[in-house]
Structure 1
Amino acid sequence: MINGPNFVKGFRVTKVKEFSLTKPKPRTIPVPQKIPTQKPHQPVPESTYRSPKEQEVLQGKKLTNRQKAEELLIEANMEQFKCANPEKSEKTKRVLSEIMREEDNKMAFNKVKVQHAPMKVDNVPVRLNAAAILRERALYQRQVEEELSRIEKLVDGARDPSEFLEWQRQMHARDLEKQLADIECRRLEGKLSREEALLARQNLIQENKKKALIKKEETEKLMRVYAEKRLQEEKEMRDLVEQVSEGHKNTKQARMKLQKYKQQIVQEVAEESRELLRQALEEAQEELRKKFELIREIRAMESVPFIRQTLVDLTQTAGHGLNCEMSIVELRERLALLKEAERKAEEEKRDQILEEKQLKQQHLLDTLEQISLHRAAQAKAAVLRLEEKKSKSQLGKAAIANNDRVTELQRKLEEKMTERKRQAEALKLNAQRSTSKSCKNSYEEKHWKELEESRERQAQLLQYGVVSGETANRMAAYQAARNGTSQAYVMPS
């Protein structure tokens, strides 16, 4: 057994096989994306190429407002102030226009676009809320009741007040005519007083001119006296300056004393400042020590531990032994029930309010129909009253024109106006004459002054021997010929 042949049992060998994890998967074919289709193009609206209707309405409003403004301007210019003539003179208008032009040129660099004034609406629309509708309904109802009561009284046998009203209307018309006549008289009296005031002003101007001439002569005398006085004062001032210069020589000793006194004051101030600095340093050190002590106490308080968590059971009561005591959970449930009850009550109340509102709107619509009928009737009555008023105003103007007092005042006013214009023309002629005369006098004064100055220069040149006598004579002759005068004399050589 031992020396016999050995048979070896065969073993299964493990074969290595590669992992298939690293093999790439085949790429999937991508699904083609859906090409988006655009929605059909909407055509451009026609309003894009049209100007908005609001602009046309605004332009129409602006045009009507401008026409109204021009009519008012024409009316205001035709019917100006009744008591006076406010027209300015041509010179005043020219000066005002020049001033306005200068101001506009100054402000031209900072022009700002001015916002247009808001459009003025003649008939402002009234907001028809419930209160306004009910008030107007009550007004018309009261008028209807008054008319019914008046008719009932007439049926019962009461007297018709139409005769009394007609008499009252006639008296009112008579009083109105009288008032208009008085107003016209006051207007004419005002214009008459203005004309008298203008005449008085012209007379005052003439008196002031005479006073101005007298004042000018007095001023010339005073100026001569002032010149003499000024020369005397200059002489006294020179004497005073000499005295002051002598007094300056004795100020050196006083200056030395003042310097010593100032040095002593500086030393005292320096000692006081050192003492104050030492006290301030001690106070600062004491304050710093207190701050350090306070910081130390705060840090010690912060180092103490603090319990932040508290455990609360919401289902338990507080345990105070009260009859109405309950837990937080029970409280929340009761609050939820209470909110639900309040919500139901609010819904019921909302439904009731809506029903009442509908009834009220229907009532207001019925009221508006009645009001429109009343307004139409009142508009017709207003047209009739306006026609009657126009006829009365025409009659009143005719009565004023036939008033004797008004015609007399107009005659006096015309006389005063003619007298004032005549005096104004006379003053204008006098002013032109005085202006021409003053210009002529000033020209003659200038001419003689230039002639005197030239003769003085010639005399100085002859005195210093700069020119000869013959040359001086020729210069004087040339100057006299240029000034249009004959040679008065010949300078001696």
Structure 2
Amino acid sequence: MPLRYGSLVKEAIVLLDRFTEGRQCLDDFIEDAVKDLQNIDTLQRKFILDVVSGCVERQKLLDVVIDAFYGQNRTCLSRGDRSHFIIICYLATFALDDLGFQQFSNIVKSLDLKKMQRFLGFFFPNLTTWIQDEWNSIYDAAFVEKNLIGPLVRWRPQIDALMDQLAVKISQENQLKQAPVKITQPNEFALTKPKPRPLPLPEPIPQQEKPKPAPSSTYRPPKETEIIKDIKQKNHQKAQELLYEANMKQFRCVNPPKSEHTESVMSRTEGDFDSKPKMKSSDYSGPPSSQKAVPIKLNNAAILRREALFDRQLEKEMQRIKQLVQGAREPSSFLEWQKEMLEKDHQEKLLMMERRRLEGCISEEASALTRQEVMERNQKIAQLKREETAKLMQRYAQKRLQEENEMRDLVQLVAEGHKNSKAAKQKLQKLKQTIVKEVSEQSQELLRQALEEAQAELSRKFEIIKEIRTIQSLSHVRVKNFNDTVTAGHALMVEMSLAELKERLALLKEARQTEEQERRKHILEEKQKQKQLLQEKLDNIELHSRILTQAAVIRKEERKAKLDVFQKAVAEDETVLALHKKLVEKKQARQRLKQIESSKARPSKQAAAPTACSTGTHNQRKVKTWEELEQSLEHYIEDTP
């Protein structure tokens, strides 16, 4: 019985595709392939396996030709046809003498003719050029010339004749495929076309059955995860509350709340501020506070820095005393004189600043009076402009009403002239409706076809999902028999069982824990010593700071006494008293002007009350906006220095 090589080559192509996808060993793959091909004859099975194994063994040699062929014809070839070209290249190179030209031509004709013609036309003309050079880099040049290139060159005339036959067959197939051109026949347009039958209702889409839920015995989530989650949530809520409390109560230690007595005293002093000449608050920081200082927590670096500072101060003081003992002069008299002169200059400077402040307040009051006069003048001008705009708007409304009446008359004339065109419009509308109905029927047919295709695709997907679910629901039974006291049997020098390994690891863990405990104990001792040393340094720092605070309190008391003397001098100064009197007069004049304006505004509002009901809320809003603008301007001008 002659072998049908065309079908055998197709079987070999399928096996070669499977091998390239599997990435397994060739011997294991051949054994699996023998099991799959048990129904085939032994000669046919041998031919298929020889071809597949030969293609895999000589893959490096064949890839030279196939990669170059795909690089040249990249656009018109697919990766799925690679196995076809590999097997044809292998048969032409290594098995053409054994098969014979007739069988080889039958194999080529059983495959795609166009692709085979293109491959043979690429392979045989390039044999003696770059293909031979590439094969010489893989095998010996003499072997390539004698066993590979020589036989192929001998078969070249028969291959050319085969390619001519393939070209003739391809042209014949193309002629058969070319069908006669259909000429479209025009059809008459029928207005009274009968309505088509209504589309049948689509069949309901099959619903997928709900899978059975897994039993609770397969997996139970641990309770520890829920406990940890609750603890995390509580900690997060607590942290948010602490952060909110810290943001609301920040700087409370720096700015403690004042008592009722201090608040009443402060309000009384603020009320009497304008009646008495005073210094600016920025020039004097105030008397020393009698409250207890807030303790500040220092870190190690701050403690060391503070101790070094006190040591330097102590060393300077000891050097000064030593110099005095040796006979050096202390510049105390000169420093006291210099300090007195500086204080005198400072008091004169503060006095000048107080005079300037009062002069500035007087100029501000004068500018406020001028601003009020300017605002009154601007209000009168704005009222005149409002009246003019109202008259212009009335004229414009009358003009618009006249134009609308003229346009209405013109539209009526045009509508009477276009009454005859309504019949033509109705005919055109009916024609458009018929065209729209035909288009909608065609679109419904296309929608029905698309719906049927979607239902078929959906049912196919449901079947695939059912198969996958059934495969997943099958149980996998795995039996493990493992003895942890037995070695693996690799015959190594230090081989040990799992139980011995666990025991040694436990001993190592115990040794590491004891070492860590000793190290932790040593660290705690060092920390205790360092803490004791820092505590001693803190005591010294507290002593120094207490002495410095006492000296600062004495200096503040002296400064307060000097300030009282200076305030008495300022209160007795004639220029300051005159300026203060002038300021009070300016303020009284300004208050009188405000009272006059308020008395003028009340009767005007009462007269405008009946007219406001007729004009509506629009004018009230305008008056409010004007008043708000004037008030904002007053505040802005008063706040500017």
Cα distance, 1:262–1:133 mapped onto 2, change above 3 Å: same
Matched with 1:187 is 357
Deviation per residue, 1:124-170 (Å, 9 max, x gap) = 34346666655544443333233223334444555534345435533
> What does 1:237-248 correspond to in 2, within 5 Å?
237-243=407-413, 245-246=415-416
Matched with 1:65 is 259
Name which of 465, 483, 502 aligns with 1:332: 502
> What does 1:210-289 correspond to in 2, within 5 Å?
210-212=380-382, 214-215=384-385, 218-219=388-389, 221-222=391-392, 225-226=395-396, 228-243=398-413, 245-246=415-416, 249=419, 250-289=421-460
Deviation per residue, 1:352-406 (Å, 9 max, x gap) = 3443344344434433443343233223212211111102212333454466764
Cα distance, 1:143–1:223 mapped onto 2, change above 3 Å: same
Matched, 1:145 2:315: yes
Cα distance, 1:251–1:152 mapped onto 2, change above 3 Å: farther
How many residues are treated as equivalent by the alignment? 341
Matched with 1:363 is 533
TM-score by length of 2: 0.45
Aligned to 1:382, the other structure's residue is in SS state: helix
> What does 1:256-405 correspond to in 2, within 5 Å?
256-293=427-464, 295-296=466-467, 299=470, 308-320=478-490, 322-401=492-571
Structure 1 gap ranges (5+): 1-61, 84-120, 443-493
- Asked if the contact 1:137/1:367 (under 8 Å) is kept, the reply is yes
Matched with 2:374 is 204
TM-score by length of 1: 0.56
- Asked if the contact 1:140/1:374 (under 8 Å) is kept, the reply is yes
Cα distance, 1:351–1:124 mapped onto 2, change above 3 Å: same
For the residues of structure 2 that align with 1:285 and 1:297, how far apart are their CA atoms?
19
RCO higher in 1 or 2 (8 Å CA, sep ≥ 6)? 1
> What does 1:80-91 correspond to in 2, within 5 Å?
none
> What does 1:108-187 correspond to in 2, within 5 Å?
123-127=293-297, 133-155=303-325, 159-163=329-333, 165-187=335-357
Aligned to 1:143, the other structure's residue is in SS state: helix
Cα distance, 1:172–1:294 mapped onto 2, change above 3 Å: same
Per-residue deviation, 1:279:
2.5
Matched with 1:26 is none
Cα distance, 1:198–1:275 mapped onto 2, change above 3 Å: same
Per-residue deviation, 1:271:
1.1
For the residues of structure 2 that align with 1:254 and 1:382, how far apart are their CA atoms?
104
Deviation per residue, 1:305-361 (Å, 9 max, x gap) = 855122223233334455554322222222222222223323333443443344344
RMSD: 4.3
For the residues of structure 2 that align with 1:431 and 1:64, how far apart are their CA atoms?
43
Structure 2 gap ranges (5+): 1-255, 278-290, 612-641
Cα distance, 1:325–1:175 mapped onto 2, change above 3 Å: farther
Deviation per residue, 1:218-274 (Å, 9 max, x gap) = 356536634642452343144134235426634343244224313412321331232
Aligned to 1:141, the other structure's residue is in SS state: helix
